[in-house]
Amino acid sequence: MNWGVIAPLVIFLLIIFAVGFWSHKFVLKSNSFLEEYFLGERQMGGFILAMTMVATYGSASSFIGGPGVAYTQGLGWVLLAMAQLATGYFTLMVLGKKFAIVARQYKAITLIDFLKERYQSKTVVLLSAASIIIFLFSSMTAQWIGGARLVESLTGLPYITALLIFAFSVLIFVIIGGFRAVALTDAVMGVVMFAGTLVLLIATIKAGGGIPKIISDLTAENPNLISPFGAERTLTPSYVSSFWILVGIGVVGLPQITVRAMSYKNSKAMHSAIIIGTIVVGFIMLGMHLIGVFARPVLPGVKIGDTVMPLLSMKVLPPYAAGIVLAAPMAAIMSTVNALLILVSSALVKDVYLNYMKPNASQSHVKKISFSVTAIIGIIVIIFSLSPPDLIIWLNLFSFGGLESVFIWPVIFGLYLAKGNKYGAIASMVLGMCSYIIFDRFYPNAFGMHTVVMPILISMIGFIVVSYASGTKIAK
C-alpha cells in the first residue's frame, strides 16, 4: 500500500464526516424537518449553490471516463466536452427566478412537488417518481461501482472491502446530515476537483516538455489528434454539436440539478452562482479533458482509457500530491452519489409515501421514515454493486438522456407555457421515455446525432399538440 497517496484521501474523508455531523445539528433543530432534510431550508448561498451544481453534475465520467476518451480521440473530444460550459449558466438562468418563486408559492420541496401542484395529476406524480427511482437508482449503482474500483486501484484493497469503505463513507454523512450535508460536502469536493485539475494540468504540461512540444509529438504520432474530427476522423460536426443537447441544455431536465435550482436563499445567491458555476465547470471540463490529450506523449500505450488518469497522477506527481489529485475523482463520484441518494429517498418518502400512503404522519414518524429509507436504499445499492445485475447496467446506459427526455418539457413548459396541462405533460413524459428506449435499441445516433436529440424533439411536439388539443376540447 502506498501511504503517501492514501493519507490525503483519509484526511479528505475525515473533513467530509465533520461536515456531515455539523449538518446533523441543523436537522435536529429544524422546525420543518422535510424542508431541512431534503432541501436545506432553501438557505444555499451563491458559492455553495455553484459548487453543489458543478459537483453533482461532474461525475466519474468527467474525471475518469472523459479524459480516457480524450486520450484516444485527441483535441476533438475536448471540443465536445466544452459543450458542457453552457450548463454553468443556462440551467440557472432558464429555470431561474420563475422556478424559485413558483416553487416557494407551491411550497415544493422536490421536483415532483412542483409538477404535482402545476399539473394537479396523480399520473404525473407516479410517472415522475417511477422514472426517478428506476433511472437514478441504476446510475447510482454505476457510480458506486466506479468509486469502489477507484478505491481498489489506489489502495490495493479487494473490491468488496473497497466498496464497503466507499459506501459507508457516503451513507453516514448523507443519512444523518440530509441535503445540507450533501450541499456543503459538495462545496468541499468542488474545491478539491478544481484544485486537482489545476495541479495535474500543470504537472502534465511540465512532464510533456511544454505545450508546443506536446502538440508536435501528437502531430508526429497522428495529425488527426490535433484536428476537431478525432483520431479516426469519426467525430462529425453534427454528432459533436448534438452533445449541446445531451450535456448542455438538456441538463435542465435532470431532477438532481433542478432540485438545486429551488434550494437557494435569494436572487443575489443565484447571480453569483451563475458566474462562479460557469468559471468552475468550464475550467474543470477544459482542464480534465486537455489533461487526457496531453497524457498521450507523457504516458504512451495505455490500453484501458479509464486508467489514464490514475496512472498519470502517479507518474507525474509526488505521492502526496497524487493523493490530493486522486481525491478529485473520488469527490466527483461521491458528490454525484450523495445527490442521487437524497433525491431517490425524497421521491420515495415525500412524493410517494407521504402523498398517497400516509398523508398525516407525525413529525417524528417522518423523521424515522426519512432516515431509514435513505439507509435502506443505500444498503440495497451496496448489494447490487457487489454483483451488478445486467438490468442495472442496461438502465444506467440511458439514465442521463432518458431522464432529460422525460422531464425537460414538463418542467420548462410548466414554467413558461400557460396553456400546458396535465395531458400534455403525461404525453410528453411517456413519449420521451418510450421513444428514447426505441431509438436507443433500434436506431441509435439517428441522422448522425446523439440518440437523445430525437426523443427530446418528439416529447416537445407531444406536449404542445396534446396540451392545445385537450385545452380546446375542455373549453368547448
Provide, rounded to whole angstroms, the least separation between the CB of residue 28 and another protein: 25
d(CA 296, CA 71): 6
> Pick from 78, 142, 317, 354: which binds another protein (CB under 8 A)?
78
Q: What is the three-class DSSP state of 264?
A: strand
By the rule CB under 8 A, 358 interacts with another protein: no
φ, ψ for residue 32 (rounded to 5)? Answer: -120, 85
Where do the H-state alpha helices sit in 208-266?
211-221, 237-243, 255-258
CA 232 to chain centroid, in Å, comes to 30
Stretch of residues binding another protein (CB under 8 A), selected from 128-136, 159-167, 270-278, 309-317: 270-278
Provide, rounded to whole angstroms, the least separation between the CB of residue 185 and another protein: 25
d(CA 16, CA 12): 6
d(CA 140, CA 160): 17
Provide, rounded to whole angstroms, the least separation between the CB of residue 299 and another protein: 19
For the record, the C-alpha cell of 219 comes out as 502531430
Provide, rounded to whole angstroms, the least separation between the CB of residue 446 and another protein: 20
> Pick from 97, 358, 365, 419: which binds another protein (CB under 8 A)?
97
Provide, rounded to whole angstroms, the least separation between the CB of residue 294 and another protein: 11
Stretch of residues binding another protein (CB under 8 A), selected from 54-62, 94-102, 354-362, 424-432: 94-102
Are 425 and 466 contacting, i.e. CB atoms less than 8 angstroms apart? Answer: no
By the rule CB under 8 A, 86 interacts with another protein: yes
**Residue 188 or residue 200: which is nearer to another protein going by CB?**
200
- Which 215-244 residues touch another protein, going by CB under 8 A? 215, 219, 223-224, 226-229, 237, 241, 244
Provide, rounded to whole angstroms, the least separation between the CB of residue 306 and another protein: 23
Torsional class of 362: left (φ above 0), alpha (ψ -120 to 50), beta (otherwise)? beta
By the rule CB under 8 A, 341 interacts with another protein: no
By the rule CB under 8 A, 419 interacts with another protein: no
Are 24 and 176 contacting, i.e. CB atoms less than 8 angstroms apart? Answer: yes
Number of H helices, E strands in the chain: 22, 0
By the rule CB under 8 A, 89 interacts with another protein: yes
Taking CB under 8 A as the rule, which mask of x and - marks residues 108-147 in contact with another protein? Answer: ---------x------------------------------
> Pick from 418, 442, 473, 474: which binds another protein (CB under 8 A)?
418
Long-range CB contact pairs, 445-449, < 8 A, 24+: 445/239, 447/238, 448/236, 448/238, 448/239, 449/238, 449/239, 449/241, 449/242, 449/245
> Pick from 248, 297, 410, 455: which binds another protein (CB under 8 A)?
248
Are 411 and 252 contacting, i.e. CB atoms less than 8 angstroms apart? Answer: yes
Who's near 372: CB < 8 A, 6+ residues apart? none
For the record, the C-alpha cell of 184 comes out as 456543503
Stretch of residues binding another protein (CB under 8 A), selected from 8-16, 53-61, 277-285, 358-366: 277-285
Buried b (16+ CB within 10 A) or exposed e, 262-293: bbbbeeebbeebbebbbebbbbbbbbbbbbbb
> Pick from 82, 154, 176, 261: which binds another protein (CB under 8 A)?
82
By the rule CB under 8 A, 271 interacts with another protein: yes
For another protein, the binding residues (CB under 8 A) are 75, 78-79, 82-83, 85-86, 88-90, 92-98, 100-102, 104-107, 117, 210-215, 219, 223-224, 226-229, 237, 241, 244, 248-249, 266-268, 271, 274-275, 278-279, 282-283, 286, 416, 418
